[in-house]
Structure 1
Amino acid sequence: MFKHLKLDFMKYILTSDKKINFNMIKFYIVILYLIFNFSYISIFGEFTFLVSLFNYLFYMIFICIFMYEVFSNRYEVDFYTMLLIMFLISTCITMYLNSYSTYEYINEIKFIILGLFQFFIFFNVFDNNIYIKLKILSSVILFVCFISHIFSIIIYIFKIRFVFNKVYGIHYNGSFTGIYDNENILGIICFIGIVFSFIFLNYYKEIIFKQIAIINIILSVIMLFLVNARSAVIAFLVFCFLFTAIMLKKRWIIVSFILFLISVYLIFFNRDILVKLLNGRYEIWEQVFYVIKDNIFFGYSKTDSINVLLDSTIRFLSGAKEGGTHNTFLDVLLSYGFVAFSLFGVFITSYIIKTYKILIENINNYNYIVLYSAILSFLFIGMFESVLIYTPSLIGIIFWMILGYVKNKKLEVC
């Protein structure tokens, strides 16, 4: 695998006239940032000084990339780009209206800059050399997931616990998080590993590589059901359902799935069932709708929104301090108000419709089917975790990367 990657790296790092290929350099920097994100949410995140240092270093590099691409007129301004720009402007207005100290301004600026990276760098990383980039991305993710899964399984078998600033492995309450400190993180990484193992299998035909990918899928599925990560399990089931339905080209399966979602929606009207299923999230979401009424247009800012939420009630909102609203869309609503929420909602809805039309044109493209199914599954995760936008999360990086991949109309059938 490494031999193949080395050849691919050398082949595309230079253009035909021996000049540095800027787009590939940008891609490799994003890959390094992805690996960095894998590491700092694991036990390696205990090295807080190094994490902060590398984080600021990557921010500076991405700012330079963004400025270079702006001045080089590399960005195409279309309907979707305009929606994202308007979203950024809306969040800037929120920052102006709700920031009352230097700290708050700096914090909000960091979130907005992260949004720039997501919308204009990660989202556009697959603008060219699509085939080789996806091959490298799948190889890197599979390798990182495979290694982390091996260590996590060893930790589980021998009931190992590491205690530093955080707890890793087997927690005091019996929960299992592997080399990470959070069940949801481990669950999401397992799901990501499954998705890109499918992509990897399509690129590498050698038996040894296929065996590695299959072992990684098996380990991922095992750990997915060992941890209490409902959002990741739901995303995995949605992915399997959508992938199977599209591959078989059976519309009745998709119709059945839609009817199933409607049934789930009707069940959700029962408050008692909601409270049990959502594991504390319902109380948070209920409080969000109560709080946002007082500042509906531009919200309370990302920095202060959770404090406002917690201070608005005497109820204990389980997990709110650590995980926010546990819903990407409600997080946008509470932090930036109805204007930003509407813009983001229109972007996601119209983009999914657009890419569905591209899917129909590429119905025999295996990679496209996998990644389109993954995007819809990531959106399900986004309904249970605040991870897709304005958050320095691993899934946020991958989500915007593959969101950019599926906008390509002409792809190799593979």
Structure 2
Amino acid sequence: MRSNNKFYGNSSVYLVQILILLILNTMVRTQYDVLVSIGTISTNLTFILMLIFLVKGIIDKRQFDLNLNRIYLALFLYMIVYSISYITTLQVDAFYYIQLILLFIFILESTRMNMGIMNIKLVGYIMGITVVFLFIHWIASGLSFDGFKSIFRNPNYLAVLLFCVLYFKIIAFKYSSSMEKVYIAFLIFINLILIFATNARSVLVAIGVIVVSRVVLQYYSKFFPYVFHMVIILNLLFLFIYTKIQNSHVGVYLNDLSLHFFGKPLYHDSGRSVIWEQLFQKISENPLFGYGLGTNAKDLIVTNYTAHNQFLQIIIEVGMVGFVIFIFLLYSIWKLLIKRLDSSVAVWSACFFLGILVYENFEMTLFQNNYSIAILQWMIITIGINFKNFERKID
């Protein structure tokens, strides 16, 4: 263990650079070309630095944690499946494929990183400054609660970015002094206001899942390990139920509720229900191996939209074989988080993990569709895995 601690101490400069790049990555979804270029470069640098971090660990003979074996296996199988899909379908270029493999390497290394309190607080404070600027921009823009997007292309991106930022603020709040907590509490407050201002329903649902998960852990802790299973099952059921009840009394009632509270319909002619129903038919025609890496909904059906569902997107690309490996990866991470619930960082990682999984029922942000958010989300999910031992060493 000494060699591991020495490694992380000597490599703190890599961590700081990666954490700063997390902010710059988000520029890729702004409305300005120069910022988009900066975000693209930053995202590629993030992948390269994480690869260097992994190689440095191998050179320094940093030990591989045997507790992570199932994650290693899942990622290895995932890389094989996507590599075969890339070779056999040829729908994307080599750069597209390399970026995806680098993301898998990022996930692998993020499960091994033992981030300290100061690293997480650094992210919280940097992102806090960003949120203050966004809040001032929101005020200057007229305090609108109808799809505020600031400098970004759409409000949904700003919403999920603010959602990810919220995690680091909560952790920073936990490990701060009394005076710092006042400031961070203010940052959390304006963070939530801005999320409401975006009017993004999927993020609000994800936050609701996090709150419920935290309550379940607090009062029904024995039941908490099984919440993951429930979320996965309900996510899959939701896909089918959502499409089937569209023209029923229940569907009409829910649609009216959505219009009343959010000003947006739950169903519309070109919405998810139509896309999902058509994709179900296409998936049934090639269920095992999918249609290949890079295949989108518009390649299979008449639409200008994506699948708007991470689970469906995986099945479209690599079929049920890839989907099973994906669930195995998620479950392996969940099992490790459950073992470390005596750490508040792992607790919030687990709760946000569940929230992110529910969010993926409406969007696709865990893989190549949105690398800037994917990197943030995977880091949030995995931070809690190795934080426990480091926290004890500080104590």
TM-score range, shorter chain: 0.7 to 0.9
Aligned pair partner of 2:23 in 14, 35, 39: 35
Structure 1: distance between partners of 2:194 and 2:83: 41
Partner of 1:165: none
Structure 1 counterpart of 2:80, from 89, 101, 124: 89
Q: Which residue of 1 aligns with 2:141?
A: 159
Give the aligned partner of residue 371 of structure 2: 393
The equivalent position to 1:181 in structure 2, one of 153, 160, 178, is 153
Asked whether 1:104 is paired with 2:104, we answer no
Cα separation, 2, equivalents of 1:354 and 1:26: 25
Q: For residue 335 of structure 1, report the CA deviation from its aligned partner.
A: 1.6
Identity rate, percent: 21
CA distance in 1, matches of 2:30, 2:90: 32
Residue identity in the other structure for 1:155 = H
- Aligned residue for 1:166? none
Q: Judging changes above 3 Å, is the alpha-carbon distance between structure 1 residues 158 and 47 closer, same or farther for their aligned structure 2 residues?
A: closer
Output the CA distance in 1 between the equivalents of 2:49 and 2:207: 34
Pick closer, same or farther for the CA change 1:197–1:51 going to 2, 3 Å. Answer: closer
Q: For the structure 1 residues 53 and 192, does the alpha-carbon distance in structure 2 shift closer, same or farther, using more than 3 Å as the test?
A: closer
Q: CA 1:138/1:382 → structure 2, altered by over 3 Å: closer, same or farther?
A: farther
Equivalent position SS for 1:107? helix
TM-superposition CA deviations, 1:49-71 (whole Å, max 9, x none) = 44444444444433333344445
Residues 390 and 116 of structure 1, relative CA distance in 2, 3 Å threshold? farther
Kindly indicate whether the alpha-carbon contact (under 8 Å) linking 2:246 and 2:267 is maintained by their aligned counterparts in 1. Answer: no
Aligned to 1:11: none
Name the structure 1 match of 2:331: 349
**Structure 2 counterpart of 1:405, from 370, 380, 383:** 383
CA distance in 1, matches of 2:31, 2:120: 23
Task: Write the deviation string for residues 181-224 of structure 1: whole angstroms up to 9, x where unpaired.
Answer: 221121112222332222111111141x2222111111122122
TM-score, normalization by structure 2: 0.78
> Contact 2:124 / 2:172 at 8 angstroms: preserved in 1?
no
In 1: Cα distance, 2:226 partner to 2:39 partner: 46
Q: CA deviation at 1:338?
A: 1.8
- Letter of the 1:351 partner, please give it: I
* Structure with more helix by fraction: 2
Partner of 1:378: 356
Q: 1:50 to 1:196 in 2, by over 3 A?
A: closer
CA contact (8 A) 1:45 1:51 kept: no
* Residue matched to 1:196: 168
Retained in 2: the 8 A contact 1:247–1:369? Answer: no
Q: Residue type of the partner of 2:135?
A: I
Report if the CA contact (8 A) 2:289-2:321 is conserved. yes
2:123/2:168 contact within 8 Å kept: no
2:262 corresponds to: none
Answering whether residue 129 of structure 2 is matched by residue 147 of structure 1, we say: yes
Residue 26, structure 1, aligned to residue 7, structure 2? no
| Pair 1:226 & 2:206 matched | no
Alignment map for 1:201-212 (pairs within 5 Å): 201-207=173-179, 209-212=180-183
Pairwise CA distance, 1:95: 0.2
- After TM superposition, the structure 1 = structure 2 runs for residues 308-319 of structure 1, keeping only pairs within 5 Å, are 309-314=297-302, 316=303
Instruction: Structure 2: state its 5+ residue gaps.
Output: 256-264
Partner AA of 1:41 in structure 2:
R
The question of whether the paired residues in 2 share the 8 Å contact of 1:328 and 1:383 is answered with: yes
Partner secondary structure for residue 387 of structure 1: coil
The size of the alignment, in residue pairs, is: 365
Q: Which amino acid aligns with 2:323?
A: F
Counterpart CA distance in 2 for 1:40 and 1:193 is 17
The verdict on how the C-alpha distance between 1:352 and 1:26 changes in structure 2, with shifts beyond 3 A counting, is: same
AA partner of residue 104 (structure 2) = G
8 Å CA contact retained: 2:337, 2:349 = no
Change (3 A) 1:287 1:108: farther
Counterpart code for 1:182: N
**In structure 1, distance between residues paired with 2:95 and 2:221:** 51
Distance in 1, matches of 2:89 and 2:234, equals 38
User: Which whole-Å deviations, capped at 9, do the CAs of 1:81-140 have from their partners, x for residues lacking one?
Assistant: 11110111010000011106xx6233223222222222x2223222xxx4xx24322332
The alignment partner of 1:277 has SS state of coil
Query: Structure 1 residue 123 and structure 2 residue 117: aligned?
Result: no
Q: What is the one-letter code of the residue matched to 1:107?
A: Y
Contact (CA 8 Å) 2:74, 2:326: kept in 1 or not? yes
Of 133, 136, 151 in structure 1, the residue corresponding to residue 119 of structure 2 is 136
How far residue 400 of structure 1 moved from its aligned partner, in angstroms, is 2.2
Amino acid paired to 1:227: T
Deviation at 1:241, TM superposition (A): 1.4
Distance in 1 (CA, whole Å) between partners of 2:337 and 2:227 is 21
* Alpha-carbon contact 2:149-2:155 (below 8 Å) kept: yes
SS of equivalent to 2:385: coil
Task: Give the CA deviation at 1:262.
Answer: 6.2
Deviations 1:298-328 (A, max 9, x none): 323343x12xx324334x45xx2xxx32222
- When the two chains are superposed, the root-mean-square deviation of aligned CA atoms in Å is 3.6
Shift of the alpha carbon at 1:21?
3.6
Out of 197, 209, 213, the residue aligned to residue 238 of structure 1 is 209
Seen in structure 2, the aligned counterparts of structure 1 residues 336 and 311 have a Cα distance that, compared at 3 Å, is closer
State the secondary structure of the residue aligned to 2:112: coil
Could you report, residue by residue, the CA deviation over 1:230-253 in whole angstroms, capped at 9, with x for unpaired residues?
111111111111123323446689
Gaps of 5+ in 1: 1-13, 161-168
